[in-house]
Amino acid sequence: MDQLSVLIVEDNPGDVLLIKEYLSDRQDAYYDITEVDTLEAAIDLTTNREFDVILLDLTLPDSMGLDTVRSVMTTSPDTAVIVLTGLQDENTALQAVRYGAQDYLEKQFLTPAMLYKSIIYAIERKRAMQEKEDLLIDLTKALEKIESLEGILPVCVSCRKILDENQE
């Protein structure tokens, strides 16, 4: 497996230590780990550097709750985000996912295997979503080209073919 770049946004040193320990638990996974303890530091860092995944706490000194998720998703829309929190709130979990987080994990139930799977799946889901968006953009451009030919060539747009002069 390639090395994965992980940004841990967490203000509790004990939680950071535990997350790092969980990440080091896998012998077949390699991580380049960066840690910050405020949302501002995370945003500053992500404007100059890309990460494969951001592990995000919802309770930071300079941001609380879903505003934290919104801010990170705004500044890092192409990065997989996993919320790691002590909050046991299903509504907050659903909202975090609606705002773009790939997963919502409660720290008290976290295991090394769960964290590993969540990271791998989150990165793959984000890649698949990006690929889908890229394909939709390509399709839109192709359709625009076809439609632009309608005025130049005798084209049956719904048939997606060029007609010869004897066809209608």
pLDDT digits (tens, 9 = 90+) for 81-133: 999 998 888 999 999 999 999 999 999 999 999 999 999 999 999 999 889 98
The residue-averaged pLDDT of 138-157 equals: 73
Which residues, other chains included, contact 56 with Cβ-Cβ below 8 Å and sequence gap of 6+?
Answer: 9, 42, 68, 69, 72, 81, 82, 83, 84, 101
Report how many domains make up the chain: 2
pLDDT grade, residue 1 (50/70/90)?
low
Question: Is 107 exposed, middle or buried, given 0-12, 13-18 or 19+ CB atoms closer than 10 A?
Answer: middle
Any bridge partners for residue 30, and if so which?
3
Question: Angle CA(107)–CA(92)–CA(115) in degrees, nearest 5?
Answer: 30
* pLDDT for residue 33 is more than 90: yes
Judge whether 168 lies within some domain.
Answer: no
Judge whether 85 lies within some domain.
Answer: yes
Shared domain check, 28 and 7: yes
Shared domain check, 95 and 21: yes
What pLDDT digit, counting tens, does each position of 39-71 carry? 999 999 999 999 999 999 999 999 999 999 999
Shared domain check, 141 and 93: no
* pLDDT for residue 156 is more than 80: no
For residue 151, how far is the Cα from the chain centroid?
Answer: 41
CATH number of the domain within which 32 lies? 3.40.50.2300
- 63/41 Cα distance (integer angstroms): 11
Any bridge partners for residue 103, and if so which?
82
Shared domain check, 116 and 77: yes
